């Protein structure tokens, strides 16, 4: 079954969806070839992969990747293809979230959960028992957005604007760019 809590991700010329059920896989729809393929996940125990701890996303650099939370450890995985055309998963890096976000893992009630992902800025939204955070994994910068004890799914919206010009015909302010 397709996991409906996460939107499809477009990487290159393909769309990807997380599947769940008896096995954990990623469904690929290649737009150029008009074909479907199943990509098995590298993490052995599918019981470790529950709602809120895995997110399919573009990998650092390029290609397909995913973020996997195991407790307070964030693992960034990416798909690599060798010179013979064989693809496999490679663990790109691991990040201790309790140290990065200054959380006391012994005092916290629950583990962090992934709420959403903003592709343009490569920022993940995480829920913790002390609030909602944004984390940019390339720079390891984070920001606490607000305190919340509830767990929600977020659909980040990103817009682009230029300084000068106006929105809505006004002479001042920002000008929204379309199709950029």
Q: Could you tell me the residue ranges of all domains in the chain? A: 9-176
Whether 86 shows a pLDDT value over 80: the answer reads: yes
Contacts of 142 by beta carbon, 8 Å cutoff, 6+ apart: 100, 101, 133, 134, 135, 136
Q: For residue 58, which phi and psi values (nearest 5 degrees)?
A: -65, 145
Taking the C-alpha atoms of residue 70 and residue 141, their distance in angstroms, rounded to an integer, is 20
Tell me the average pLDDT of the chain.
77
Q: For the chain, what's the residue count?
A: 180
For the chain, give the percent of residues with pLDDT over 90. Answer: 20
**Looking at residues 139-148, what average pLDDT do you find?**
80
Rounded average pLDDT over 77-84: 91
Q: Which residue has the higher pLDDT, 97 or 163?
A: 97
Residues 149/130, Cβ–Cβ less than 8 Å: no
Q: Which residues contact 61 (CB under 8 A, 6 or more apart)?
A: 78
26 or 164, which is more confident: 26
Query: Which tokens sit at 127?
Result: 């829920």
pLDDT in tens, 11-50: 999 999 988 777 778 999 999 999 999 999 886 554 555 5
Question: Three-state DSSP class for 153?
Answer: coil
Of residues 145, 142, 149, 114, the one with CA closest to residue 9: 114
| pLDDT over 90 (residue 98) | no
CB neighbours (10 Å) of residue 25? 17
| pLDDT for position 8 | 87
Residue 105 has pLDDT above 70, yes or no: no
Q: What does the pLDDT read at residue 145?
A: 82
Beta strands in 45-177 (DSSP E): 54-58, 64-70, 73-81, 87-96, 113-118, 123-128, 131-136, 141-146, 161-162, 175-176
Report pTM: 0.73
**Whether residue 53 has pLDDT greater than 70:** yes
pLDDT at 101: 73
The pLDDT, as a whole number, for residue 169 is 52
What is the pLDDT, as a whole number, of residue 124? 86
- According to the model, what pLDDT value does residue 71 have? 83
């Amino acid at each position: 079954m397709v996991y409906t809590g996460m939107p499809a991700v477009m990487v290159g010329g393909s769309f990807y969806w997380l599947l769940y059920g008896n096995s954990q896989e990623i469904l690929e729809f290649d737009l150029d070839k008009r074909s479907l393929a199943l990509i098995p996940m590298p993490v052995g125990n599918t019981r470790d992969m529950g709602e809120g701890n895995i997110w399919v996303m573009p990998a650092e650099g390029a290609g397909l990747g995913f973020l996997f939370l195991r407790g307070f450890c964030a693992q960034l995985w990416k798909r690599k293809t060798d010179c013979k055309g064989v693809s496999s998963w490679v663990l790109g890096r691991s990040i201790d979230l309790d140290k990065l976000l200054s959380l006391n893992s012994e005092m916290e009630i629950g583990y962090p959960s992934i709420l959403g992902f903003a592709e343009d800025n490569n920022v993940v939204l995480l829920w913790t028992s002390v609030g909602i955070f944004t984390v940019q994994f390339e720079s390891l910068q984070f920001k606490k957005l607000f305190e919340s004890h509830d767990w929600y799914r977020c659909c980040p919206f990103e817009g682009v604007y230029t300084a000068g010009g106006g929105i809505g015909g006004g002479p001042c302010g920002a000008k929204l760019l379309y199709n950029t």
